[in-house]
Amino acid sequence: MNPATTDSDRSEAQTAVAAPKRVVIASAYSEHHRARLEALFQPAQTVFLAPGAHAILRRELRTADIAVLPTVPDATYLQYQQLRWVHCNRSGLDACATREIINAPFAVTSASGRSAAVLAEHALFFMLALAYNSAQQLKAQRNRVWGLSGAGKMRGLEGRRVLLMGLGCTAKALVPRCLALGLQVSAFRRSAGGDEGLGIPVSSLAAGDSVDDLLPHADIVVLAASLNDSSHAMLGERQFALLKPGAMLVNVARARLTDTAALKAALKRGTLSGAGLDVTDPEPLPPWDSLWRQQNVLITPHVTPRVADRENAEIDIIEDNYDRFLSGRTLRNRLRHADLYTKASTTSQRRLTTRLIRARNRLLRPSVRRV
């Protein structure tokens, strides 16, 4: 439970804090994982709640020092004056990155990194599927047609240039996988540092670099950044125009990292030869949206296969952070001022539309066979 101390940790005054007396856990865990969490937080009282028990959760939070949630906190959590740390078993915190929550007296952390390996695989799945024109391949198979129009223009991944926009856990997991396939990889990130040992060129906004200088050289752009006010619509009409004709886009992060109208226009005019999207705006994507009809777009419904033991991966992050919490060090995946996101647009009409689409999807959802 004592990970190696990083330089960023050493730069802060390490002041030990009082151990918590009560920990409330609203995420679902097996008996094995519950035992591990109880042992971790001893001698604190650990209270496990059934998922969805919202009224009970609100009551228990009144006397909790730490909360482990399957979702993110909202402004109502500000009333719980004893709370010092809220851990969210989610990869992103943009849904709660308001000024109120960022400035709250409690820290907020995420489970970012727990599924990095499969998210990297998901990005590779998109790359291969687009490069091999899988949509047309499957169409030909269903129609029992031998042969593929335009097959001579297909090109494999080896030697292509991949630009990673963002260099968090997913992007770092993707780097060695891309290199193993012979891809040339570079990255652009907001902050400087943290890329030691990756063996790829890394540019950053903090160092005064511009992504505009990188986009014209990219064959494949992979979005793996967090969503905040700075990254919102980071790929818009101007950025898409800088891409070489025939470039591909892969997004396994957040849909609003792109301007959706500009994305559709780039696909229509051929600036983008294809896109692999695990996220869309809006989400779920309405059945009437034109993206469904794009021949060169592969859409997955924000679904990635699970890692071998996601619960243990989650608890590994919690354990690391609990050690940091007790010693007064910076928490891993903590919500920061730089994560502020004020551009979310949620209206009552949009919420109603989303509920109706989700209900329709539940009725039409196909069963998935395990392989």
What pLDDT was estimated at residue 192? 83
Residue 34's Cβ-count burial label (10 Å; 0-12, 13-18, 19+) is middle
Mean pLDDT, range 283-302, rounded to an integer: 94
* Residue 163 φ/ψ, nearest 5 degrees: -110, 115
Report residue 2's pLDDT band, with 50, 70 and 90 as the boundaries: very low
C-alpha 3/C-alpha 323 separation (Å) is 8
CATH 3.40.50.720 describes domain 116-299: yes
Q: How many CB atoms lie within 10 A of CB 307?
A: 17
d(CA 224, CA 222): 6
- pTM equals 0.89
Task: Identify the residue with better confidence: 192 or 71.
Answer: 71
Which among 85, 54, 90, 49 is positioned nearest to 67, based on CA atoms?
Answer: 85
Specify the pLDDT at position 8.
44
What is the residue-wise DSSP string for 296-318? TEEE--S--PPPTTHHHHHHHHH
Residue 153 confidence (pLDDT): 85
Cβ neighbourhood burial of 185 (10 Å; 0-12, 13-18, 19+): buried
With 80 as the cut, is the pLDDT of residue 237 above it?
Answer: yes
Tens of pLDDT, residue by residue over 21-69, are 999 999 999 999 999 999 999 999 999 999 889 999 999 999 999 999 9
CATH number of the 7-114+308-339 domain:
3.40.50.720
- Residue 360 scores a pLDDT above 90: no
pLDDT at 151: 83
- Above 70 in pLDDT, residue 227? yes
Q: What does the alpha-carbon distance between residue 86 and residue 67 come to, in Å, rounded to a whole number?
A: 5
What is the reported pLDDT for 4?
Answer: 39
Contact in structure between 235 and 262 (CB atoms under 8 Å): yes
Which residues in the chain are classed under CATH 3.40.50.720?
7-114+308-339, 116-299
Query: What percent of the chain clears pLDDT 70, i.e. is strictly above it?
Result: 91
Predicted pLDDT of residue 354: 72
Contact 86, 264 (CB under 8 A): no
In the structure encoding, which two tokens stand for residue 23, read together?
């920990």
Q: Across all residues in the chain, what is the average pLDDT?
A: 91
198 three-class SS: coil
At residue 17, the pLDDT reads 82
